[in-house]
Amino acid sequence: MSWEMLGSNYHRRVSAGRIFLWALRFYGDRFNVLFLPFLIASLAKSVLWRFALDVIPQLEIQPGFTENFLVQFINYLTFVIPILIFFTLISWVIDILPNGMIVKYSADHLEGRTPSLMSSLKTVISQIFSLLLIELIRGLLVILGLVLFIIPGIIMAVVFSLAIQVMIIERSGIFESLRRSRKLVAKEPWQVFLVLLFIFLLSAIGGVVGEIFSNHLIRTGNYVRLIIISIIMSLAKPLQPVALTYLYYSLSADQKLIVTREQYQPIVPTPQQTGQRFQEPIGYHPKFCYKCGQKLPPDAIYCPRCGVRVKT
């Protein structure tokens, strides 16, 4: 695969379409690895919510609005709302794990390290509470914006779309990750919006296809239909963390680099090379230590804080 180098120098921004194509290629090359976490998460959520629906009793609606009905309705909500909150939190954790894992996996690939799902899982687990909090804050901001005439919610979703990438790759705190995401998105807001739009449309298509497919093949059995729809929809889910991770590196690159799997090596294009296409960059000279998050000098081979080797 060949592509134009990521980065902001030399006035050659990478288009949203090309970012999305890179994500598709990467996903296609490693489909079995990238799809597996989302498949497991989708199956787990299907079982979880099927169990939740079995636990939650049905509300018997009586004709007429009486004081007795109002008391029953309040008692019903008092019983149901804590159950919904409990299952939503579990579902939330299930969603965070595969997204964070694929962000770390994609980042390791782009920075020239050997990606591993197990090491990615360990990284996500070590940051799970911060990831949950940042998702909560981001979700509340988006929901609040959607309530305020929809457009502010879309803006919030775009502005803070790279917060998870910043937190996992740079090991930043919650509010620093949100601030850094805002600064990165400000460079190319329409590019970020288009990438998110591509992902949303693909996910929506997956949901429609899953519904049609399950309706034609399965006439009965809501549980089986739910699993089929979840699996088909999960086919598109790995594209979001992959595409946003590629987008993060495109927007955060300080210089254009080509890095082979053997070693990191910055390339300064000659006048003859300007305007030509380059071979796929396997990664960048890392700006942050992947183990402790320390900001690295441009020529660093070892992390000055924890001593881990950051440059091959």
Sign of the Cα torsion 173, 128, 193, 108 reads: positive
Distances, alpha carbon 166 to alpha carbons 4, 175, 233, in Å: 23, 11, 26
110-159 pLDDT, tens digit per residue, is: 888 889 999 999 999 999 999 989 988 988 888 888 887 788 889 999 99
Beta partners for residue 302, in sequence order: 309
How far, in Å, are 53, 248, 289 from residue 58 at the CA level? 9, 45, 52
| Residue-level pLDDT at 252 | 82
| Listed residue (274, 259, 272, 254) closest to 310, CA to CA | 259
User: Mean of the per-residue pLDDT values for the chain?
Assistant: 78
Q: Write out pLDDT tens, residues 88-103.
A: 888 888 889 999 999 9
